[in-house]
Amino acid sequence: MSFSRNDRKVRVERGKEFPIHPSADTEATFAAVIADALRRDFGHTPTYVKHIARLTGANMRTVQNWLQARNGPSGAGLIVLMRHSDEVTAAVLTLADREGLREGAVAGMKVAELRKAILEVLSHLPEH
């Protein structure tokens, strides 16, 4: 089948560029920030990829892509990571420009850590 001469001819007007959406860079930033947070919280131990994969139920290759900032976790994976990682939670709140919530969350985490340390010390003290 050949095109008829009456077919519409679409031509691009010169000088006009496709507008770039302001959030176009957000996905790259998101992936990099989450990768940094995962590395800070889970470290560089040989089994940290397997550990994150078990926590999230994701494939190990998927987790490696997260850690290399090729792409970020989906919504469900992100929620699970936030549940297990204070660094990821703080990173997401920072990306969302919710510094007040982030500071409150960090303060709450510090109180929880302090409470845990106090209970640990109390368990080692002799009873009178």
Q: What is the pLDDT of residue 99?
A: 73
Band of residue 97 on the pLDDT scale cut at 50, 70, 90:
confident
2 CB neighbour count, 10 Å cutoff: 5
- pLDDT tens readout for residues 23-78: 555 666 889 999 999 999 898 777 899 999 999 999 999 999 999 999 999 999 99
Residue among 40, 119, 120 at smallest CA distance from 85: 40
Q: What is the pLDDT of residue 46?
A: 73
* Cβ-contact 85, 42 below 8 angstroms: yes
Q: How confident is the model at residue 10 (pLDDT cuts 50, 70, 90)?
A: low
Rounded to two decimals, the pTM is: 0.60
> Of residues 87 and 17, which shows the higher confidence score?
87
- Give dist(CA 33, CA 85) in Å, integer: 13
Which has the closest alpha carbon to 51: 33, 68, 39? Answer: 39
Give yes or no for residue 110 having a pLDDT over 70: yes
Residue 82 CA to its chain's centroid (Å) = 8
Ranges of beta strands (E only) in the chain are: none
86: enclosing H helix or E strand: helix 86-95
